Structure 1
Amino acid sequence: MTLRMRPTAVTLDCPDPLALAAFYQRATGYALHPRSDADFAGLTGEDGLSLGFQRAEDHRAPSWPGQDVPQQIHLDFEVADLEEAEARLLELGAGRPQDQPGGDKWRVLTDPAGHPFCLIAR
């Protein structure tokens, strides 16, 4: 028998939970959880998925694509327009690593805490 599990939350370590939540809130439109604070902030999507951000005092940003500091987590987001989404996320504070192995199919960006994530064209 296969166990059926549905993901309900993903939590990222970071130095500033409210700041990282604000970045992802602007990027996804998810609602900020009313009990978010300086130690843990959460966002909730209409689909029931929650993104959490917890304070890690000694957080070190990943060194993607190198592994001196492993990427720790990797998120993928589907977007209608790759160029438009990338431009908007860069305006919001995302970074764009030099290494871009996805060509026209996907892009690697980093959030303000350094976690890599991908934008995938629909």
Structure 2
Amino acid sequence: MQLSAITLDCSDPLALADFYHRATGLPLHPRNHAEFAGVVQPAGGLLLGFQRVDGYRAPVWPGQDVPQQLHLDFDVDDLASAETRLVALGAVRAAHQPDPERFLVLTDPAGHPFCLSPRVATAP
């Protein structure tokens, strides 16, 4: 068994796929449509999908009135520049930052929280 996709609920799959495409540089899935869209890692890698849900309610983080259910983590070379770029694409910095020296919490345009962490250099 191999994990092939992670799918998030949202109200506008095409818009959310475009956000993650521009945020990560991953290509858009070739069969995106209004009900389901995604970005995919090259060479048959993991699909990050977005499915339209009627009456979608964005998660409220860190509260649990509308639970986040999951969140994504991304390693970046520079927290400040990554945050600036992602906010320009439509992300929002979350008001609650539990450990801003180690990671930043943003929300995507559909309200899903995600974290940015500094990339750890690996030894050659």
Q: Where does structure 1 lack aligned partners over 5 or more consecutive residues?
A: none
Residue from 21, 34, 41 that aligns with 2:37: 41
State the partner residue of 1:7: 3
How many residue pairs get aligned? The number is 118
Could you state the TM-score of these two structures normalised by the residue count of structure 1?
0.92
Residue from 28, 42, 61 that aligns with 1:32: 28
Asked if the contact 1:27/1:89 (under 8 Å) is kept, the reply is yes
Stretch moving more, 70-79 or 14-23:
70-79
Task: Confirm or deny that 1:112 pairs with 2:83.
Answer: no
Residue from 58, 80, 85 that aligns with 2:82: 85
Residue from 52, 65, 68 that aligns with 2:65: 68
| Structure 1 segments (4+ residues) deviating >6 Å | none
CA RMSD of aligned residues (A): 1.2
Offset of residue 8 of structure 1: 2.4
Q: Where does structure 2 lack aligned partners over 5 or more consecutive residues?
A: 120-124
Report the residue type matching 2:71 in the other structure: H
